[in-house]
Amino acid sequence: MTVPDLKAVVPFFQPIIKTSDLGVFGYEVLARELHDGKIRSLGPYFEDPAVSDQDKLILDICVRERAFAAYAASGSTAKLFINLKPSWVYDDKEQNTPQAILSMLDRYRIDPQNIVVEVTEEELLGDSEVFGKLLTVYRKAGCMLAIDDFGKGESSVERIAHVMPDIIKLDHSIVRKTDTHRSFYEICRAMGFFGDISGFDLLFEGVETPFQLERCVRTGWCYVQGYVFSPARPGFETDYANRDLLADILTIDEVRQECYRKQRDEILAEMESEVERLRSLLPLVPDASVAPASAVGSDFYVCADNSEVAKAWREPGALEAFAKELPYYCVRCCVCDQKGRRLSNIYQLGGDGTARPLGGASPAEISSGVFRRGMNVLHGKGLGYLSDPYKNVATKENVATYMHRLCQDRLLCVDIISTAFI
């Protein structure tokens, strides 16, 4: 690739939109060369293995200083995203140490709290612990940290642990795959949950179409960047394309979430009344201790001591009769103990008043994480618990699971098809 003329090199800035308020959260610095009225991206130059790290570093410092100068002159208070190549830091080149970059910020009177240091995820292949210590210098100065191109190549949660990012930017290749592969969409949703519990926000980059933008909003990610809003430009523009489209998508998503909450409440209330119907069919003994699931051969719940207590479960066909009359959106039901072990047949429901008895593992054993979260919520004989929709590992169906404590060591589990919430 042609060596760029440093005199013609300029920083461009691509806006990053915050979905919660439609504002410009920040700008990513991107290198461009202006030549004969044409604009050339210098991204391929940085990625060219034939170009030495020293030449790349010279260009990087040039772009960064000019970006800082432009940012300082603009008076903008939005975040400025700058890229940091790990290998340059490992080489300990004087011009690229954290101290040198922080000194440059000080020279331009830029608050470090307005800077986001991006680290390319694919290149975090060296000593992550050493690199983590270097990044700590930026963090202590007030800079935010971001992992760039996450999902490109081989990703590692270990790198997340060492960097402890404030933001993770999902690689544009993953964003495009959400168009046609639902599994990638579900991975994005899972990353959103991971971010919630781990303390980092997520940014979709490379968003080009309204459909991809809608996907981003549905996954709950905080920030979006891409041509659907604006290409990189020479200034810090606060206006961007498709603002009204984003506002409409957010409004529709809020309506969808409100409908989901209402449907969830309605289903929960209906299932609570169904439990009362089961109680009338199947009198329960609160302190009965149950036998292992292997001792169960029918709907007759066997007690460990095989005593008169067992006779309280006097209707062998009661659970089947109960299952046949469950609402149309219920697909499976059984009773298990508080460890999730099956204590009855599993009934596969046909939605037409039929209930087919099955063996195998209980919903609680198949989706143990969902079961554990439910057990953390359930207390005594109070109201039941309805999980959020998830994919059943065994059947690959998208379901939610309703759980209700019938007595001390017996829980009703009912799988509900997720389309009931839409």
The 3-state DSSP class for residue 42 equals coil
- Residue 218's pLDDT is 85
Q: Residue 79 and residue 114: Cα distance in Å, rounded?
A: 5
Look up the CATH number of the domain holding residue 219: 3.20.20.450
- Are both 218 and 272 inside the same structural domain? no
- Are both 66 and 207 inside the same structural domain? yes
- Specify if 213 maps to a domain: yes
Tell me which of 199, 233, 267 is where a domain ends.
Answer: 233
Number of folded domains that form the chain: 2
- Specify if 89 maps to a domain: yes
- Residue 422's pLDDT is 65
Nearest to 367 by CA among 345, 344, 337, 387: 387
- Are both 174 and 277 inside the same structural domain? no
Please check whether residue 202 is in contact with residue 195, taking contact to mean a CB–CB distance below 8 angstroms. Answer: yes
- Are both 176 and 286 inside the same structural domain? no
Amino acid identity at 39: I
Look up the CATH number of the domain holding residue 265: 3.30.450.20
For 106, the domain range is: 6-233
Q: Which mean pLDDT values do the consecutive 10-residue runs of the chain (422 residues) have? A: 86 95 96 90 89 88 95 96 73 67 94 92 59 84 90 66 86 80 82 86 92 87 93 94 94 91 92 86 48 39 37 58 91 86 85 81 69 77 81 83 84 89 70
Span 18-33, pLDDT tens digits: 998 999 999 999 999 9
Span 335-377, pLDDT tens digits: 888 888 887 888 899 878 888 888 766 666 667 778 888 888 8
- Are both 66 and 123 inside the same structural domain? yes
Tell me which of 233, 266, 288 is where a domain ends.
Answer: 233
Nearest to 317 by CA among 344, 284, 353, 277: 344
φ/ψ (deg, to 5) at 31: -85, 135
Q: Residue 366 and residue 21: Cα distance in Å, rounded?
A: 40
Question: In angstroms, what CA-CA distances link 381 with 280, 384, 408?
Answer: 15, 8, 8
Q: Residue 332 and residue 358: Cα distance in Å, rounded?
A: 10
- Residue 415's pLDDT is 93
**Which residue, chain included where needed, has tokens 């909003």?**
217
- Residue 95's pLDDT is 60
- Are both 349 and 288 inside the same structural domain? yes
Considering Cα of 152, then 157, then 161, then 166, what sign does the dihedral take?
positive
Give me the DSSP letters along 332-355.
EEEEE-TT--B-SPEEEE-SSS-E
- Specify if 313 maps to a domain: yes
* Residues in CB range of 372: below 8 A, 6 or more apart: none
- Are both 111 and 49 inside the same structural domain? yes
- Are both 399 and 364 inside the same structural domain? yes
- Specify if 241 maps to a domain: no
Please check whether residue 418 is in contact with residue 402, taking contact to mean a CB–CB distance below 8 angstroms. Answer: no
- Residue 159's pLDDT is 72
- Specify if 14 maps to a domain: yes
- Specify if 252 maps to a domain: no
- Specify if 251 maps to a domain: no
- Are both 94 and 32 inside the same structural domain? yes
- Are both 207 and 277 inside the same structural domain? no
Q: Residue 77 and residue 111: Cα distance in Å, rounded?
A: 9
Nearest to 20 by CA among 292, 246, 226, 242: 246
- Residue 289's pLDDT is 39
Amino acid identity at 12: F
- Are both 274 and 174 inside the same structural domain? no
- Are both 221 and 290 inside the same structural domain? no
- Specify if 250 maps to a domain: no
Label the pairing between strands 410-417 and 330-336: antiparallel
Q: Residue 340 and residue 335: Cα distance in Å, rounded?
A: 9
Please check whether residue 156 is in contact with residue 123, taking contact to mean a CB–CB distance below 8 angstroms. Answer: no
